[in-house]
Structure 1
């Protein structure tokens, strides 16, 4: 890989990684930090990728791991002031319905939110998600099914009418 590989990766997949981090953290500033860390890691430790899809999968896996680490950290265990939460929500251009669903996805346990994000937002199939996450296809399928069910329950509690 040449010196421009991290720049190429950022130009090609930067928005995707930012969206993934935002979907998992629910915080635009945290998502920006994670995105920066992912591409700095690639710059510092260049990788050999078979294809752009392989590169994208590596970047997503790295971002998901960073989001997981952030969720475990004491920094994320503190309460976020309402004004900050609203600013984070409004900083990404979603409709109110999209915001509500995105917020619910971000509140799901990481094992569900990452699978739902990769399946619905990045349009990976179950086999590809299994490869990215290092899990079996059956596990990914079960997590996706359970995540959908949990998301549906949470949305219905808030009065959202779930359409099938």
Structure 2
């Protein structure tokens, strides 16, 4: 891959890749490692992308795979991080409702978190998420429905009825 195109991909998609990785593993440092591995794979990629959307989907797929590998590795399961006892999120929100919603999403299981992130934050359709994650559309719909129900039960407030 040519250097200029690589730099464009990194500047355009690094934030998205980090958010997906963090959403998956809930650890800032692991997410940074996943971002590094993902962009290393992009640098080593020999193929061509049809367009920007194709590249974005490829990066999401690689990020999810890297996240799964990181979270299921023997080393990761045996290590206890000092940071686990405190939140390492450095996200700021405009109001308490957004913060409460984010906390509720982060309490979901990983299979729900990734689907919610792709649907609401990356604005992919159910069909597109199914293609990216190699899962049936009905499974995606079910996970979204269950995630919404869990979030609703965790988050209390009048603003939910709006």
- Normalised to the residue count of structure 1, the TM-score between the two structures is 0.80
Range that drifts further, 101-110 or 22-31: 101-110
What's the counterpart of residue 15 of structure 2?
A: 15
Q: CA deviation at 1:135?
A: 1.8
Alignment gaps of 5+ in structure 2: none
- Normalised to the residue count of structure 2, the TM-score between the two structures is 0.81
State the Cα deviation string for residues 97-116 of structure 1 (Å, max 9, x = none): 44443343233222211110
Distance 1:68 1:83 in 2: 19
Alignment gaps of 5+ in structure 1: none
Range that drifts further, 121-130 or 94-103: 94-103
State the Cα RMSD in Å. Answer: 2.5
Aligned residues: 158
Determine if the alignment matches structure 1 residue 163 to structure 2 residue 160: yes
What's the counterpart of residue 35 of structure 2?
A: 35
What's the counterpart of residue 57 of structure 1?
A: 57
State the Cα deviation string for residues 24-83 of structure 1 (Å, max 9, x = none): 222222211111110011112233211101111111111112222222235256555468
- Structure 1 stretches of 4+ moved >6 Å: none
What's the counterpart of residue 134 of structure 2?
A: 134
User: 3-state DSSP class of the match of 1:65?
Assistant: helix
